[in-house]
Amino acid sequence: MTSTWFITGTSSGFGLLLTRRLLDRGDRVAATLRRPEVLADLKAEHGDRLWVRALDVTDTEQVNEVVTAAFTELGHIDVVVNNAGYAVFASVEEATDDQIRQVIDTNLLGSIAVIRAALPHLRAQGRGRVLQISTAGGQAAFPNFGYYHAAKWGIEGFCQTAAAEIAPFGIDLTIVEPGAAPTGFGQALATAPVMPEYDAGPAGQVRRAITSGEIPLVNDPDKIAAALVDLVDSGHTPLRLPLGPDCYHEVRNALLARLAEHEAHRDTARATALDRYADLADRLTTHA
């Protein structure tokens, strides 16, 4: 059976690869992007199976209008993919206020707006899936990506809550965490003037490692796009899906380090309970 997908950020990267893959196998795609003319050739090739609209996810009113139009004109949408993204590569002091605002507006507030706009329609259908594109940086953190992490950690927390709330309506949500891949995302990163104070520390070290190619882009973008299609076809609904050995490695190490630090403060956590809840505190902090 053919499916209908709604995808943001389809001008390049995973969004474009996913759109092409779905069209090639006969599915319908509602593709949204800032410059619709980028998809003119695909539109000419696939006709009515490709529905294209201009969309800036930072414009909530436009998000609501475009999402409603897609559901209305296409009749139903099976999968909503939140893929649009923007990042600034700079230390915490180097980034400008406008850059910070753009990162949060696009990756966090824009993603939330798309999900909120789609939910009434998905509830009316009684079914549907949301794929939220995140990154290894949604659970791990690296120098120069502080504001990107702020947005991605935020959207992962939102999505974990939303997934529990919408499950009774037959709507599934998966946070997809791709590792590093040669999609052009790195070249599109916004930057800021380098401060020598930060260039001498971890921020500078990471900047030079990326510039020199020391950090490899180990993942195949086509395989990642294929994995998203396979996930939906399988019917499996994990809350999070790591894609890439680097993502698996970095997230696992981050979680183990957080757990170790968490355990180191167990006695302190237990000691702050009200005296009348001492027994409960012992039960909550004693492992079975």
Catalytic residues: 134, 148, 152
What number of other Cβ atoms are within 10 A of residue 74's Cβ?
16
* CA distance linking residue 169 with residue 199, whole number of Å: 50
Give the Cα separation of 3 and 76 in Å (integer).
Answer: 9
Could you count the other beta carbons within 10 Å of the beta carbon of residue 223? 13
Closest to 30 (Cα-Cα) out of 85, 73, 91, 92: 73
The secondary structure of 257-288, three-state, reads HHHHHHHHCHHHHHHCCCHHHHHHHHHHHCCC
Total residue length of the chain: 288
